[in-house]
């Protein structure tokens, strides 16, 4: 009950923070300017980022795009319509000087950004539905409900932590949420598989003890997998730079919350469902044998 209360508190807090503060949407969802350039040598990303950040154009992000000399510049949508966007592009060109070759310049309008946001939400929703159908098919409907409750818990709290920290929420974050969904359900399936195996093995053992034993038997595997994944993600977060910091942060949180929900939420929920342990079928078979003998 403690974990159920704690998880409910996390979900409610995430919803309240999201409503109160909303997310710090990136250019993908807000609209803005995309400029793809090629520089004369690699290693100029940091210098260019510092120069463009000081222009007063709002949010400006740079990342390598393919080769180390190809850089993608994203600038938030400027107030004032098309003329303001063109003025911002001209300002960037003057700041970068003549040693830069411009390969592409695009403006992401509000309609495109709205479509990207809707596609991102749809992708997450369809992933959750697909996972529900998979768990339902592989196990039983009770397992499917437990897995989806844990999965929705992970997604909602991830959105909540982004609203709390103010870290940019963009398409790479949506990709991270989808990855978190896959990682979380993988942990859940491992424990559920052991639960199903033990349900067939131990007919007389109480459901509480059976679930507890199943978690303990898979705990070392779950913890070791999570720790090794976290080591790689921490390195990515510390050394990967600003471009993938939001993605790596979401993944770190997702691994932690996904491991927690698989162990402390998805499995205990099975206690509140009427799981078929095969005892009724075994009893019917025994009665039929006895009637045949008599």
53 in the same domain as 172: no
Q: What is the count of structural domains for the chain?
A: 2
Environment class of 166 (CB within 10 Å of its CB; exposed 0-12, middle 13-18, buried 19+): exposed
pTM of the model: 0.71
pLDDT of residue 282: 41
15-41 tens-digit pLDDT: 999 999 888 877 777 777 878 888 877
pLDDT of residue 278: 59
210 in the same domain as 94: no
pLDDT of residue 243: 67
pLDDT of residue 38: 82
How many other C-beta atoms are found inside a 10 Å radius of the C-beta of residue 57? 19
Q: Which two tokens stand for residue 133?
A: 């159908």
pLDDT of residue 17: 92
160 in the same domain as 240: yes
89 in the same domain as 56: yes
Residues in the chain predicted with pLDDT less than 70, given as ranges, are 1, 66, 109-113, 241-243, 274, 276-294
203-246 tens-digit pLDDT: 777 878 888 888 888 888 888 888 998 998 898 888 876 667 88
44 inside domain: yes
pLDDT of residue 12: 94
- Please state, in angstroms and rounded to a whole number, the distance separating the CA atoms of residues 293 and 287: 10
63 in the same domain as 192: no
Write out the residue range of the structural domain in which residue 66 sits: 32-108
61 inside domain: yes
How many other C-beta atoms are found inside a 10 Å radius of the C-beta of residue 34? 15
- CATH assignment at residue 129: 1.20.1640.10
- Please state, in angstroms and rounded to a whole number, the distance separating the CA atoms of residues 149 and 142: 11
pLDDT of residue 277: 63
Which residues 6+ apart lie within 8 Å of 106 measured at CB? Answer: 33, 34, 35
pLDDT of residue 176: 85
């Amino acid at each position: 009950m403690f974990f159920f209360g704690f998880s409910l508190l996390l979900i409610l807090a995430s919803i309240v923070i999201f409503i109160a503060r909303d997310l710090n949407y990136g250019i993908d969802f807000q609209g803005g300017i995309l400029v793809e350039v090629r520089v004369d040598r690699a290693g100029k990303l940091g210098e260019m980022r510092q120069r463009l950040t000081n222009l007063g154009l709002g949010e400006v992000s740079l990342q390598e795009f393919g080769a180390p000399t190809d850089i993608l510049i994203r600038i938030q949508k400027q107030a004032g319509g098309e003329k303001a966007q063109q003025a911002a592009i001209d300002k960037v060109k003057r700041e970068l000087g003549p040693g830069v070759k411009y390969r592409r310049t695009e403006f992401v309008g509000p309609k495109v950004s709205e479509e990207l946001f809707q596609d991102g939400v749809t992708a997450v929703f369809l992933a959750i539905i697909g996972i529900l159908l998979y768990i339902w098919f592989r196990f039983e409907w009770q397992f499917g409900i437990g897995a989806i409750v844990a999965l929705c818990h992970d997604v909602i709290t991830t959105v909540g932590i982004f609203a709390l920290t103010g870290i940019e929420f963009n398409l790479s974050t949506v990709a991270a949420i989808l990855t978190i969904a896959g990682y979380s359900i993988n942990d859940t399936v491992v424990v559920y598989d052991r639960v199903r195996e033990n349900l067939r093995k131990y007919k007389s053992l109480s459901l509480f003890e059976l679930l507890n034993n199943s978690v303990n038997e898979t705990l070392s595997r779950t913890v070791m997998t999570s720790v090794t994944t976290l080591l790689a993600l921490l390195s990515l977060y510390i050394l990967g730079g600003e471009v993938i910091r939001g993605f790596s942060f979401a993944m770190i949180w997702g691994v932690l919350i996904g491991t927690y929900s698989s162990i402390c939420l998805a499995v205990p929920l099975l206690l509140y469902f009427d799981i078929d342990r095969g005892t009724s079928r075994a009893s019917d078979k025994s009665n039929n044998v006895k009637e045949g003998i008599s």
